[in-house]
């Protein structure tokens, strides 16, 4: 239904819709900022990893739609490459059912939430994208009654795999669309927040007490949850200030002395990028700057990579110190490119906090 030739029409239509007060388009941004040389270089490298608007994994020969959407968010948060963002949205359209399920036998809540967040952030009405049913499919995935009300669950022969990060995507998609279920999905997301402020990685039933000793604290899940709570607040959900502040305070407590954040048991660019971006959006320039400095030392630049196999990948960010060293020796190979792409996509927005 949607195609490149409809781009101008959909932009014009969005303007009419916004005039009517039905804001279904771009996410209300944090303070707009110009890209730093580091974030711009990361974005340039990411653009070079696209094939006709899609990330293709050469190691396993498949189109990676989820990672493609991560590229979109990197460009959007760095405030660059609007044309490439449009290209991604258009290119992903023909892959919709492969990514979110066919809507009949298979329907995946987290993927629906993430794709709908992208579509709306790009200024496209969900009713004009793919077969026009993505929003209704997502609404069908939300529990409407009982003590699980607001929980997003997959419909799949493989079981339910929607966890806290997926719930956060659902909240964001519904908030952008102004759907009444935004409040219910936000409430269930908050059931995953422990008293210490963090959000657990694995989503639990509503009656499962969130205790630090029995739960799985996650910097990544907490960062995604903060983004979702802020989107819900912009959509009119009230009394979220304390929850957001508590999560941000916990994130600050998790920052390592060198500025990095730890995920999966090690300091890495993905987790540091997510946390750094959230702290930057919250106005904590000092903490965000420390995260950006750590990331900057794992980014390929002319100064550290000319004359090495990384010289053709300026702007790329390594997952960690060891990955960067391997890249200087062996370059970015088919086997390692996926890790570099993921790290760079999540690090790029945090690199906006680089000050020196």
Number of compact structural domains in the chain = 2
The reply to whether 161 falls in a domain is no
Choose the final residue of a domain: 95, 123, 141: 141
Q: Quick one: pLDDT at residue 101? A: 98
| Residues pairing with 267 in the sheet | 262
227 in a domain, yes or no?
Answer: no
How far is Cα 219 from Cα 151, in angstroms, rounded to an integer?
21
pTM for the full model? Answer: 0.90
Domain that holds residue 48: 1-26+36-141
Does some domain include residue 228? no
The answer to the question of residue 240 being in a domain is: no
Please identify, among 95, 121, 141, the residue that sits at the C-terminal boundary of a domain.
141
Cα distance between residue 276 and residue 164, in whole Å: 19
pLDDT at position 30 over 70: no
Instruction: Name the pLDDT band for 15 (thresholds 50, 70, 90).
Output: very low
**End of a domain among 95, 114, 141?**
141
Q: Is residue 100 part of a domain?
A: yes
**Is residue 197 situated within a structural domain?**
no
Residue 114: both structure tokens together: 């993430």
**Whether residue 131 sits in one domain with residue 5:** yes
Query: What is the widest separation between alpha-carbon atoms in the chain?
Result: 62
In this structure, is residue 125 part of a structural domain?
Answer: yes
In a domain, 72, yes or no: yes
Would you say residue 6 has pLDDT above 90?
no
Q: Which of 5-14, 26-35, 53-62, 116-125 has the lowest mean pLDDT?
A: 5-14
For residue 17, pLDDT beyond 80: no
């Amino acid at each position: 239904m949607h195609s490149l030739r409809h781009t101008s029409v959909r932009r014009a239509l969005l303007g009419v819709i916004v005039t009517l007060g039905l804001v279904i388009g771009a996410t209300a941004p944090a303070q707009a900022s110009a890209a730093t040389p580091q974030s711009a270089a990361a974005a340039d490298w990411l653009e070079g990893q696209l094939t006709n608007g899609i990330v293709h994994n050469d190691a396993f020969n498949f189109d990676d739609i989820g990672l493609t959407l991560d590229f979109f968010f990197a460009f959007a948060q760095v405030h660059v490459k609007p044309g490439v963002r449009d290209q991604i949205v258009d290119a992903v359209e023909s892959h919709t059912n492969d990514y979110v399920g066919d809507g009949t036998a298979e329907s995946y809540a987290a993927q629906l939430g993430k794709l709908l967040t992208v579509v709306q952030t790009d200024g496209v009405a969900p009713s004009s994208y793919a077969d026009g049913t993505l929003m209704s499919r997502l609404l069908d995935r939300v529990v409407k009654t009982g003590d699980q009300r607001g929980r997003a669950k997959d419909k799949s022969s493989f079981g339910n795999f929607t966890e806290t990060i997926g719930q956060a995507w659902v909240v964001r998609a519904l908030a952008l669309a102004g759907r009444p279920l935004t409040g219910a999905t936000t409430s269930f997301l908050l059931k995953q927040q422990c008293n210490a402020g963090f959000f657990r990685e694995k989503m639990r039933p509503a009656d499962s007490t969130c205790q630090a000793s029995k739960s799985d604290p996650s910097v990544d899940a907490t960062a995604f949850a903060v983004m979702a709570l802020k989107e819900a607040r912009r959509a009119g959900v009230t009394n979220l200030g304390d929850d957001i502040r508590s999560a941000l305070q916990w994130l600050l407590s998790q920052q390592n002395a060198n500025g990095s954040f730890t995920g999966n048991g090690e300091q890495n660019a993905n987790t540091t990028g997510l946390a750094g971006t959230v702290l930057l959006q919250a106005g904590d320039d000092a903490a965000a700057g420390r995260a950006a400095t750590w990331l900057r030392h794992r980014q390929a630049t002319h100064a550290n990579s000319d004359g090495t196999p990384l010289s053709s990948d300026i702007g790329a960010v390594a997952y960690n110190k060891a990955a960067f060293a391997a890249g200087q020796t062996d370059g970015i190979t088919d086997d390692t490119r996926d890790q570099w792409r993921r790290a760079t996509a999540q690090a790029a927005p945090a690199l906006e906090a680089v000050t020196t």
